[in-house]
Amino acid sequence: MNSGDDKTGIENIESMIDQAIDDLFVPSGGASKADPAQMAKVEAEPPQEEPDEAVDMDIAWGNDDKEEAVDFSEVVEAGDSEGAPSLDILRPLHEALLSLDWEINLHNIDALDEEYKRLGAMTQDNMHAQNAVKMASVCCKYLRASKSLASPLALKFLKTTLDSLDIFLRPPAPNLPSKDALVNEMMGLYNEMKLDANRLRAAALKKREAKGFTTTQQKSAATTAAPSSTSSADLRSELAHVKRTLRDLVELVDKIERALV
Amino acid sequence: MSFLDLSKREVHVKIVYYGPGRGGKTTNLLHIHEAMTDAVRGQMVSIDTKQDRTLFFDFLPLSIGKIFGFDIRIQLFTVPGQVIYNATRKLVLKGVDGVAFVADSQVSQREKNIESLENLRDNLADIGVDISKIPLVLQFNKQDLAAEGIPLLSEADMVSDLNSVYNVPCFNASALTGEGVFETLREISKTTVKSVARKLMPSLTSGMT
Ligand SMILES: Nc1nc2c(ncn2[C@@H]2O[C@H](COP(=O)(O)OP(=O)(O)O)[C@@H](O)[C@H]2O)c(=O)[nH]1
Ligand SMILES: [Mg+2]
């Protein structure tokens, strides 16, 4: 209060702030690399949850003839497939897919898979829908094996499948796009996804050969607070971590609020 | 709401990196963490699922030094993108002073960017903050993917999708290589610290000896 002369104006402070930040946040090319020990990594998931390498992602795609055996003979006209599904029956599936799209984790994969099962049971008389659900289920299996290391085409495939289902499950009407064209698009994507998955897997295999298991070892070394139990996919421990962190965060927010009063 | 500790002469400023899941928020913070010296950075805390995405949030405190005898600390947070964690996002937003919105420039992510920005606006409104009044910068991340033949949204499209209303500074970036990361951080830090300083001005000057 005793230094309240004109120099302490806001402009002065602002230029000091600019200066301090310019001096500080310079993208320094020769910046020191982070010491892994500096990182307080809290693993909220048992290590087994995630495949260490894409090599663990090998799943049975089914024989290639299987797709040919799929009956796509029925030809019906369909409509606009943009955006969210128009059919109520597909809403839960859409939501599950959105969740998975935000975060690929076991919980979200299971939820989506459940939705496909439910839908499959409800649409047994619809050949197109049945085939779409079948392929989507294989895709879920792939996601479960590869999680966030999965080919990005997997989600694209699921999204396309949802759009297609939105047409397949509508009553026949004029001005709808051809179901055959949709099936072709789905099949094309499905095959692309398979190729990409195999490509990723081959690349990961090569990497593993070159590196041995160092990656795995480094990963666990960087873990300072891994859960003691490395048993199965343990959602409970994940939730416990989340709870604890939430509590800490709430406390932090409270502290800040108290300090402001 | 920033935090001013007169006795310790500290000002805490909270900046949240917001955006769709997988957009590159954590990667931004990792790059910042790696590039800063120990004198500036604190310990980065990541709560994750051992996947490459944030389940919960990341936290990185930075100290920008003394201004007018006050220690200015910047706390960087990220939020989880996934829909089911909206409650967490709201919690992390509580007391926010500035937001860096990290958008994914891939054509396939167009809707998600828009959705996430709307979600930011709604969540801020819920805690009584008008998005057009809070320091905000946009980052168009993953520019490097163009070189791999992955279709990216043009800058014009990104601007018309995300910035036609707010008209805030935008930065092209590739958090993976670090390009644009510090430009984004610098801009959001400046505008945020200044806006906090303006609010705290009376206390700051009266707290001086
Ligand atoms: N090619 C590329 N990949 C990026 C970039 N930024 C992030 N990623 C990748 O995108 C994925 C998600 O990034 P992350 O920072 O975890 O996203 P968050 O969910 O917003 O925190 C990771 O695999 C990153 O390596 C970028 O600028 N370019
Ligand atoms: Mg993250």
Q: Which two tokens stand for residue A255?
A: 């502290």
Residue A17 pLDDT > 80: yes
**What gap in Å lies between CA A61 and CA A63, rounded to an integer?**
7
Interface of B with A in 119-178 (CB under 8 A): 178
Mean pLDDT of A232-255: 57
Domain boundaries, chain A: 35-209, 232-261
What integer pLDDT is reported at residue B144 of this predicted model? 95
What integer pLDDT is reported at residue A42 of this predicted model? 32
Flag whether residue A18 sits within 8 Å of chain B, measured between CB atoms: yes
* Band (A253; pLDDT cuts 50, 70, 90): low
CB A170, CB A176: distance < 8 Å: yes
Burial of B69 (0-12, 13-18, 19+ CB in 10 A): exposed
Q: Which residue of B has its CA nearest to A37?
A: B43
CB A101, CB B84: distance < 8 Å: no
Provide the residue type at A210 as one letter.
A
CB B88, CB B55: distance < 8 Å: no
What integer pLDDT is reported at residue B112 of this predicted model? 92
Contact A3 B12 (CB under 8 A): no
Q: Which two tokens stand for residue B59?
A: 């936290």
Q: Tell whether pTM > 0.80.
A: no
What integer pLDDT is reported at residue A172 of this predicted model? 82
Burial of A246 (0-12, 13-18, 19+ CB in 10 A): middle
**What gap in Å lies between CA B188 and CA B190, rounded to an integer?**
5
Q: Which two tokens stand for residue B139?
A: 């980052």
Q: What is the pLDDT of residues A31-75, one digit of tens each?
A: 333 333 333 333 333 333 344 445 555 666 654 433 333 333 222
Positions in chain B short of pLDDT 50: 47-56, 209
Q: What is the pLDDT of residues A99-155, one digit of tens each?
A: 777 667 788 899 999 999 999 999 999 989 999 999 999 999 989 888 767 787 888
N- to C-terminal Cα separation, chain A: 21
**Binding-site residues, ligand 1, Cβ < 6 A:** B 19, 21-27, 52-54, 78, 81, 141-142, 144-145, 174-176
- 3-state secondary structure at position A12: helix
What integer pLDDT is reported at residue A55 of this predicted model? 55
What integer pLDDT is reported at residue B15 of this predicted model? 95
Domain boundaries, chain B: 3-201
What integer pLDDT is reported at residue B205 of this predicted model? 64
Q: Nearest 5 degrees, angle CA B96-CA B98-CA B99?
A: 100
The CATH number that domain B3-201 falls under is: 3.40.50.300
Q: What is the pLDDT of residues A156-214, one digit of tens each?
A: 899 889 999 999 999 888 888 888 889 888 888 888 888 888 888 887 788 777 766 54
Mean pLDDT of A215-228: 37
Q: Which residue carries 């994914």 as its tokens? A: B104
- Show Cβ contacts of residue A11 under 8 Å, excluding neighbours closer than 6 positions: none
Range list of β-strands (E), chain B: 3-5, 10-18, 45-48, 54-67, 70-78, 98-104, 136-141, 170-172
Helices and strands (H, E) in chain A, number of each type: 9, 1
- Show Cβ contacts of residue A141 under 8 Å, excluding neighbours closer than 6 positions: A59, A60
Q: Which two tokens stand for residue B82?
A: 């996934």
Q: How far is B81 from chain A (nearest CA, A)?
A: 6
What ipTM, to 2 d.p.? 0.79
Greater model confidence, A243 or B107: B107
Cβ-Cβ pairs closer than 8 A, A with B, add up to: 174
